Amino acid sequence: MVNPHAGEAELLVNGTPYELKLTLGALAGLEAALEEGTLVDLVQRFEQGRFSARDVLALLAAGLQGGGHDLSREDLAAATITGGPMQAARVAAELLVRSFAVPEEP
């Protein structure tokens, strides 16, 4: 079961649920994989609705890595994601929000 308060999100790949999380190592790998700009640029592209399929794939692959899964970017690109590309984009955006949101004070 994913914990949204810990920055986790869930993605169904080939019918199997995967827990995604952006750890520091996963973020470093994501930044290295980005073809344009920094993580801040990536967040801004998502906020402005200007993200690409490449952005979604890189973000989900980093989340899988951070969640402790060995599913490669290539495997993910060839997989069936329940809900299709729109769901993949929603989960990627959710993962960003959960990873970078400032916790609310009680």
Question: What are the domain boundaries of the chain?
Answer: 23-99
Q: Which value, to the nearest 10 degrees, does the dihedral of the CA atoms of residues 29, 70, 47, 51 take?
A: 90
pLDDT band at 106 (very low <50, low <70, confident <90, very high): low
The pLDDT tens digits of the residues spanning 14-59 come to: 999 999 999 999 988 888 888 777 888 888 888 899 999 999 999 9
pTM for the model stands at 0.89
Distance of CA 3 to the CA centre of its chain: 15
